[in-house]
Amino acid sequence: MTRRFTVHERRPVTRLDGIWDFAYLGDVDPDDVALDRIAYDDVMAVPGCFDATPAYNARRGLAAYRTRVRVEAGRQRLVFHGVQHWCRVFWNGEPLRDHAGGFTAFTTDTDAEAGPAEITVLVDNRFGERAPLHMEHFDWYHYGGISRGVELHRLGEAWIEGLKIDTVSVAERRIEVRVDYTADRPGPAALAIDCDGRGLLAETVELESSGSITRSFTIPRLAPWSTTDPRLATLTVALGDDDLRERFGLREVATADGRLTLNGEPVRLLGVNRHEAHPQFGHSQPPALLVADVQQLRDLGANFVRGSHYPLDPLFLDLCDEAGILVWCESVGWQYPVEHLTDPVFVDAQLAHLDAMVAAAQNHPSIVLWGVLNECPSWSADGRPVYERLLGRLKEIDPTRPVTYATLNVYEDRCLDLADVVSVNTYPGWYFGDVADVPAELDRIAAHVDAEGHADKPLIVSEIGAGAVPGWNDQRGSLWTEAYQAELLSTVVDHVMDGQDRISGLGVWVLGDFRTTEHREMALKRPRGVNDKGLVDEYRRPKQAFHAVRERFRREA
203-252 pLDDT, tens digit per residue, is 999 999 999 999 999 999 999 999 999 999 999 999 999 999 999 999 99
Which tens digit of pLDDT belongs to each residue from 185-210? 999 999 999 999 999 999 999 999 99
Q: 18-148: which CATH number, 3.50.50.60, 3.40.50.1360, 2.60.120.260, 2.60.40.10?
A: 2.60.120.260
End-to-end CA separation in angstroms for the chain:
34
In three-state secondary structure terms, 184 is coil
* 158-248 is classed CATH 2.60.40.10: yes
The CATH H-level (homologous superfamily) assignment of domain 254-556 is: Glycosidases (3.20.20.80)
3-state secondary structure of 412: helix
> Is the separation of the CB atoms in 277 and 514 below 8 Å?
yes
Pair 207, 183: CB distance under 8 Å: yes
Which residues are CB-neighbours of 383 under 8 A, at least 6 positions away? Answer: 338, 341, 342, 376, 377, 414, 415
CB 238 within 8 A of CB 159: no
Give the DSSP H or E segment for 544.
Answer: helix 544-556
DSSP 120-161: EEEEE---BTTBTT--TTSSS----EE-S-EEEEE--SEEEE
For residue 122, what are the β-bridge partners? 64, 88
Burial-class residue 498 by CB neighbours within 10 Å (0-12, 13-18, 19+). exposed
Comparing 18-148 with 254-556, is the CATH topology the same? no
Which pLDDT value is given to residue 520?
79
Cis ω before 30 (30° cut-off from 0):
no
Q: Which amino acid does the sequence have at 255?
A: T
CA distance 166 to 248: 9
Q: For residue 1, what pLDDT is reported?
A: 55
What is the domain partition of the chain in residue ranges? 18-148, 158-248, 254-556
Neighbour-count burial for 421-450, b at 16+ CB within 10 Å, e otherwise: bbbbbbbbbbeeeebeebbebbeebbebbb
Write the CA distances from 317 to 164, 215, 293, 326, 362, integer angstroms.
16, 26, 12, 10, 11
Question: Alpha helix (H) ranges present in 450-501?
Answer: 482-494
Beta bridge pairs of residue 86 = 100, 124
pTM of the model: 0.97
**pLDDT at residue number 55:** 98
Q: How far apart are CA 2 and CA 149, in angstroms?
A: 7
Q: Is 93 exposed, middle or buried (0-12, 13-18, 19+ CB in 10 A)?
A: exposed
Side by side, the strands of the sheet bearing 174-183 are: 158-169, 174-183, 210-218
The residue type found at 149 is G
Mean pLDDT by 10 residues, the chain (557 residues): 86 97 98 97 98 97 98 97 97 97 95 97 96 93 96 97 98 98 96 97 98 98 96 98 98 97 98 96 95 98 97 97 98 95 95 97 98 97 97 98 97 98 98 98 98 98 98 94 98 96 97 90 83 97 98 88
Residues in the chain: 557
